[in-house]
Structures are given as structure tokens and as C-alpha cells.
């Protein structure tokens, strides 16, 4: 799905990057910027700056940078669309439905048509057995209709024969509805259409009615469906509860249906997979209170613990995640049918908070009356606490584990950060500046700082003078953006820069505390351009001397080639040197 650039600009304009990042990382204002511990590398001193005016963040150590969308994508491991939807939801906007690829549109059409086929089959004489099953589970016709519950005939080619008259075989092959031999995947099953947050049919889940395995069967991953991101019932829950105050997360569709039938209309289910960080992140966009309601047996507690592990990195103080452990032998379906809505909601009032569940699990690892046991518990907790990116919460967890284990837990985490860090950054190795001239880098920083503060200077004639000089090509896209629209948001200018090394310098300029007058900015641009030109000439002299003394390295030979090639005019000596360098390189 594509999103109009005008809408992206709108949500970035209406949102506040300090608020978005500040909900996840503790920020403190210093000068024009807010500073915090960078969550993208092993940071100990605040090295990430966030600028409210420019709506931009930058880490001066690992070079993580960008706007609010970039931050959410990296912090919560979201794709672009999900990050946009998260910000849009926070400012009360709906992402507009826009042009989709032909393939995606066709896939959604096939799923929508299939949902209707299944509903029709449930109402037919062949669906009598399925209706009897629904009645035996106390599911009314009204609820079945609301969730578009249907029935797949116990036939090998029934669905294919219907759809093949309307769609191409290649499209049906990719739909996830059929086996490789085009046999119906779901046969003799009660069918639960799965919708995305917009209401599109993206997949199906099926429960077998008679004896057989597997009892539950979901669509495979397709171009419209990813089970690690989608939640059954979320569309329906939002439709009935606006705004959502809370969500109950259960294990199966029948749990969702049973809760709804009994008046709890805010339940969702994961789809044959553990609750992932993406699931939790999606729920956090729409409500502040999340209750995970699993069976109280060992399997249920293990599934709940997986949710803890997957959610630690995105914990926030304003989000409450709690766990309901039903007595053994009960699931949410059986419990609410036996005890009713009020008893189920009472379980929510007595739910175990994530932090409490975490500490209880740490205590269960070993005998805390012994030094060895406390050491085992601390080692168990260390890599998990290291996953927490929210600094105040992290410190609170460190304090609690320290009390449990009777040791300096913070020191243990710091000493073992290389082993336990949840987000080790490779960025420092990837983006070390290759320029040998710190002077040139400062000059580039000066040019960008002047242009950001006084965009109208992009029309200065000096930029026309250097337009054909290849060593200044990196300035061109920045200059063009400001020249076209002096009021352009700097983060949009940032997106026009291709080279990461130049992006880093531009990011520093965005967060600069220097305040320049228009005249000082103009003078700085001229001085910095002259500095870069002189720096290039000085570097050429140094490299030629090393070449003549046969002390030049292979990397420096390639650099010398580039320096000479960037010159507008070449002497005969330059041409001969280029030929010699090319022979050596070959």
C-alpha cells in the first residue's frame, strides 16, 4: 500500500517527535535540544539529541537519525506503513486508503469473494452440521454474522471450481486457499475470516468440526497476511469500542467469539503463533491496557512468558500489560460460559502485572537463599532487562532484581552489556567517515548549518559557480530543495541525501546550537566552500608526494585517482599519473 506524501507531511506536522520519543526514552532538555540515552547502541551517557523545531533526532555516537517515522521503525521494528499508522492513530487521523498494487487488490478481492462463499455454504443445507456445532457452543446467528463465520464444504475442489470461473489460476495459486495441486486447503471446517485493521479480508482460520487433525488451520503467509503482525478480532473490537480502553488477548478464535457472545467485545487472538513484539506494538497504538488471558497450565504460562520476552524492548510507562492465568482446565471460552461476564472481568481487576510476572519468574529460577541461586537468577534476568529500551523502566527493573538477588545488578548488566545488549549496533563500523580531512568535514557542516538556518541563501550565485565541480555534487540536492521551497521541512531535505556519510553531517547541522545572522551565514558558506577547495588541493599534494616516494598505499592510490578526476582541468602530468595509477590498479 502506498501512502500519499501529503498525508505523511501532515502527520509529521501534527505530531511531536519529542513526545513520541519521550514516551519510549527519557529525555532532558539542554539548550535547543532534548537529550537521551540512545536505544540503538550500548549507550551510557545521553548521546541522542532530539530537536523539537526541526522534528529530527540524531545520535552522535552510532549515527541513528531521522524523523518520528524513522525512530518508530527502528525502535519497534515496524515497516513503513505500520509506523505511519502508529503516528496517525496517536494524532487522531486515519491513514487514507490509496492505490494498491494490482496483485494485492486481486488477492483481497479473492479473499472477500471466498468469505461470501463460505457464508453462503454455512446457510445451505450442507452447512447444517456446522450450524449445529455453533449452537452447541452457544454462538448466536447474530454473532456468527458479525464475524462473517462461514463453512467450507468437505470437498477437494469445491471452492476452486467456484473461484476458477472468476479469477486466473496464478492468482488463486498465490491466495493460500489451495494446495500445490489446487486442492481446497480448508475442508469440512468452520471458517473465520481474518481482517486487517481496515476491514479487508486478508486470510482465514478454520476449525475442524468432526474428528481430525489439525484442529485449527490458518492461511499460510501471503502477500496480504503475516501472522506475526495480525490479530484476529482487532477490526471488530475497534468497530464496537471507539476509543478502545483495553484489549484482552486470547489464544484462539473461539475464545474471541465466546467472549463477544457474553458481552466482552474487546478481545483479540494471535493466529497460531506466540504474541510478538509487533502484536504488542499494534495493540499499544489503540489502547493503554492490555490483558493477556491464557490457560493456567504450563503451556499457557510458557506462552505468556514469550509475550514478556517479546514485549520488553517496547515497554512504556503509559501502557499497562497484565496477565490473567485461568484455573487449570479452563480457557476463556469455557470460563465465561460457566461463570459469566462479571466473573471474567473480575479476573482483569486481579490480573498480574508484567513487572510482577517478571519478578516472580526470576525468583522461580533457583533457591535465593544461596549465593549460587542468586547468581543463577541474576544471570537469567540480565539479558532480559538489557532488552528494555525505556531508561526509567529499565532502572526500575534493575532495582527490583537487585533486591531479589541481593547484589549490584546494575554493575552486572554494565559488565555484561557486550553479551546481553538487545540491540547491538553495527552502524559504527558501517559509517566511519572515510574522509581524511576533518577540516573538510567541518566545512561541509558549516555549509549545511548556514542553509538550514537561512534557506534563501540557496539562491546565492556561489552555488552556481561550483555547480559543475564534482567535489561539490553532494551539496546540490540540499541546495535545490531549499531553493525550490525555503520553508521546506528540514527532515524532508534530509530524505533527498543519498550518501549516509553526508546524511550524518546534515543531521549534526540540524541539531546545531549555533545561531547565525543572515550575513554571518552567507560569509560562512563562502568561507567553507573555499576551505573544501583548498583542502582538496592540499590532499592532492600530499598524495602525489607519497606516490613519488613510493610510500602510497592501495587505498591512497584510489583516492588520488578520484582527486585528480574531480579536477576540472587536467595537465599532461595529471593524465600520465592517471594512466600509471590505472595500470597499477588493474
pLDDT digits (tens, 9 = 90+) for 38-52: 999 888 889 999 998
* Domain contains 157: yes
**pLDDT of 573 above 90:** no
Pair 258, 335 in one domain: yes
Work out the pLDDT band at 548, boundaries 50, 70, 90: confident
> H-helix or E-strand containing 218?
strand 216-218
State residue 586's pLDDT score. 47
Q: For residue 287, how many C-alpha atoms fall within 13 Å in the half-sphere facing its CB?
A: 23
Cell 526470576 appears where?
Answer: 362
Pair 253, 331 in one domain: yes
* CA 139 – CA 116 distance, rounded (Å): 19
- The DSSP string of 531-567 is HHHHHHHHHHHHHHHHHHTT---HHHHHHHHHHHHTS
Pair 74, 192 in one domain: no
* Domain contains 356: no
pLDDT digits (tens, 9 = 90+) for 153-172: 999 999 999 999 999 998 99
Pair 497, 455 in one domain: yes
Pair 150, 277 in one domain: no
State residue 303's pLDDT score. 93
* Domain contains 311: no
Task: Answer whether 204's CB lies under 8 Å from 218's CB.
Answer: yes
We report the CATH number of the domain holding residue 40 as: 3.90.580.10
* CA 270 – CA 233 distance, rounded (Å): 9
Task: Give the end of a domain, one of 190, 218, 246.
Answer: 218
Work out the pLDDT band at 463, boundaries 50, 70, 90: confident
Work out the pLDDT band at 567, boundaries 50, 70, 90: low
pLDDT digits (tens, 9 = 90+) for 275-291: 999 999 999 988 999 99
Pair 239, 338 in one domain: yes
Q: What range defines the domain where residue 503 resides?
A: 438-585
Pair 241, 153 in one domain: no
* Domain contains 15: yes
Total domains in the chain come to: 5
**pLDDT of 420 above 50:** no
**β-strand pairing of 320-325 with 289-294:** parallel
* Domain contains 256: yes
**pLDDT of 142 above 70:** yes
**pLDDT of 552 above 70:** yes
State residue 494's pLDDT score. 85
The mean of the pLDDT values for the chain is 86
Pair 203, 239 in one domain: no
Pair 194, 173 in one domain: yes
* CA 224 – CA 266 distance, rounded (Å): 24
Task: Give the end of a domain, one of 188, 218, 248.
Answer: 218
Pair 66, 107 in one domain: no
Pair 259, 213 in one domain: no
Work out the pLDDT band at 426, boundaries 50, 70, 90: very low
Give the residue from 573, 445, 561 showing the smallest Cα distance to 502.
445
State residue 261's pLDDT score. 98
Pair 506, 451 in one domain: yes
pLDDT digits (tens, 9 = 90+) for 166-211: 999 989 999 999 988 899 999 999 999 999 988 999 999 999 998 7
Determine which of 307-316, 515-524, 552-561 has the lowest per-residue pLDDT on average: 552-561
> H-helix or E-strand containing 235?
helix 234-240
Cell triple for 142: 447474530
* CA 283 – CA 288 distance, rounded (Å): 8
Amino acid at each position: 500500500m502506498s501512502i500519499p506524501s501529503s498525508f505523511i507531511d501532515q502527520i509529521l506536522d501534527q505530531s511531536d517527535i519529542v513526545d513520541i520519543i519521550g514516551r519510549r526514552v527519557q529525555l532532558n532538555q539542554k539548550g535547543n535540544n532534548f537529550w537521551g540515552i540512545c536505544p540503538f547502541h550500548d549507550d551510557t551517557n545521553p548521546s541522542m539529541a532530539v530537536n523539537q523545531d526541526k522534528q529530527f533526532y540524531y545520535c552522535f555516537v552510532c549515527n541513528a537519525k531521522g524523523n518520528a517515522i524513522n525512530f518508530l521503525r527502528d525502535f519497534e521494528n515496524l515497516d513503513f506503513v505500520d509506523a505511519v499508522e502508529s503516528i496517525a492513530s496517536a494524532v487522531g487521523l486515519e491513514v487514507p486508503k490509496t492505490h494498491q498494487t494490482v496483485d494485492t487488490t486481486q488477492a483481497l478481492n479473492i479473499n472477500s469473494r471466498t468469505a461470501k462463499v463460505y457464508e453462503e455454504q454455512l446457510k445451505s443445507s450442507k452447512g447444517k452440521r456446522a450450524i449445529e456445532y455453533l449452537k452447541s457452543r452457544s454462538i448466536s446467528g447474530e454473532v456468527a454474522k458479525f464475524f462473517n463465520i462461514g463453512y467450507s464444504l468437505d470437498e477437494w475442489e469445491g471452492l476452486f471450481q467456484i473461484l476458477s470461473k472468476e479469477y486466473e489460476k496464478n492468482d488463486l495459486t498465490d491466495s493460500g486457499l489451495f494446495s500445490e495441486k489446487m486442492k481446497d486447503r480448508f475442508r469440512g471446517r468452520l471458517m473465520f475470516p481474518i481482517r486487517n485493521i481496515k476491514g479487508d479480508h486478508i486470510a482465514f482460520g478454520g476449525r475442524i468440526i468432526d474428528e481430525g487433525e489439525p484442529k485449527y488451520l490458518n492461511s499460510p503467509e501471503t502477500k496480504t497476511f503475516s501472522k506475526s503482525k495480525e490479530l484476529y478480532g482487532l477490526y471488530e473490537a475497534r468497530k464496537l469500542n471507539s476509543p478502545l480502553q483495553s484489549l484482552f488477548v486470547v489464544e484462539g478464535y473461539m475464545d474471541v467469539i465466546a467472549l463477544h457472545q457474553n458481552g466482552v467485545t474487546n478481545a483479540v487472538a494471535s493466529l497460531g503463533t506466540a504474541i510478538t513484539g509487533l502484536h504488542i506494538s499494534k495493540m499499544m497504538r489503540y489502547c493503554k491496557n492490555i490483558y493477556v488471558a491464557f490457560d493456567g497450565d504450563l503451556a499457557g504460562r510458557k506462552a505468556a512468558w514469550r509475550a514478556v520476552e517479546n514485549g520488553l524492548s517496547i515497554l512504556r510507562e503509559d501502557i499497562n500489560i497484565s496477565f490473567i492465568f485461568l484455573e487449570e482446565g479452563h480457557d476463556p471460552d469455557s470460563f465465561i460460559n460457566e461463570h459469566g461476564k462479571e466473573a471474567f472481568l473480575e479476573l482483569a481487576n486481579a490480573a498480574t502485572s508484567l513487572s510482577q510476572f517478571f519478578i516472580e519468574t526470576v525468583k522461580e529460577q533457583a533457591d535465593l537463599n544461596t549465593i549460587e541461586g542468586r547468581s543463577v537468577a541474576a544471570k537469567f534476568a540480565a539479558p532480559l532487562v538489557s532488552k528494555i529500551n525505556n531508561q526509567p523502566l529499565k532502572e526500575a527493573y534493575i532495582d527490583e532484581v537487585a533486591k531479589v538477588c541481593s547484589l549490584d545488578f546494575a554493575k552486572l548488566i554494565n559488565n555484561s552489556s557486550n553479551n546481553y545488549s538487545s540491540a547491538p549496533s553495527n552502524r559504527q563500523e558501517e559509517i566511519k567517515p572515510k574522509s581524511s580531512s576533518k577540516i573538510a568535514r567541518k566545512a561541509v557542516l558549516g555549509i549545511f548549518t548556514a542553509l538550514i538556518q537561512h534557506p534563501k541563501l540557496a539562491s546565492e550565485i556561489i552555488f552556481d559557480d561550483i555547480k559543475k565541480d564534482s567535489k561539490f555534487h553532494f551539496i546540490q540536492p540540499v541546495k535545490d530543495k531549499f531553493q525550490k521551497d525555503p520553508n521546506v521541512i528540514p527532515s524532508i531535505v534530509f530524505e533527498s541525501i543519498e550518501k549516509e556519510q553526508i546524511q550524518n553531517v546534515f543531521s549534526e547541522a540540524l541539531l546545531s546550537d549555533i545561531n547565525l545572522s543572515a550575513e554571518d551565514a552567507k560569509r560562512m558558506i563562502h568561507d567553507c566552500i573555499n576551505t573544501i577547495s583548498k583542502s582538496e588541493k592540499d590532499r592532492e599534494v600530499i598524495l602525489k608526494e607519497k606516490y613519488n616516494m613510493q610510500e602510497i598505499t592501495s587505498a591512497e592510490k584510489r583516492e588520488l585517482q578520484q582527486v585528480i578526476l574531480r579536477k576540472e582541468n587536467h595537465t599532461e602530468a595529471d593524465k600520465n599519473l592517471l594512466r600509471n595509477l590505472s595500470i597499477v590498479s588493474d
